Amino acid sequence: MTRDLASRIASAKRERDRGANRASDDASTDMNGMARGMRMGTEFMAAVIVGAVMGYLIDLGLGTSPWGLLILVLMGFAAGTMNVIRVVTEMNAATSAAPDNGKAGGAVNNSDDT
């Protein structure tokens, strides 16, 4: 009777550990997605801010206010958009190059149409 109880306890602990591992894998996937989103947002905002600062400094030096600021903010916006597109393209290439572990949620063909 004691061995039966000990084996049931050990089995329950193994199941609990498997469930905890699955939960941590899911959490790491969510954080990975959050990290990707933060990277894209940071890339975009950095380009716009750098453009704005450079435009402001050019306007200050040349006295062309507000044209340098406006032009370089627009250029920063374009550069930020291009950076985000580049990052997304790199991430998609890395994702498609990685082997599929069945987590992608794609359709599985189980039919026997031979």
* pLDDT at residue 86 tops 90: yes
- Numbers of helices and strands, H then E, in the chain: 2, 0
Give tens-digit pLDDT for 13-40.
Answer: 888 888 777 666 656 555 688 888 999 9
pTM score:
0.59
Question: In the predicted model, what is the mean pLDDT of the chain?
Answer: 82
Q: How far apart are CA 37 and CA 106, in angstroms?
A: 23
Q: Give the contacts of 103 (CB within 8 A, at least 6 positions apart).
A: 29
- Average pLDDT over every residue of 74-93: 93
Can you give the pLDDT at residue 1?
A: 66
**Identity of the amino acid at 62:** L
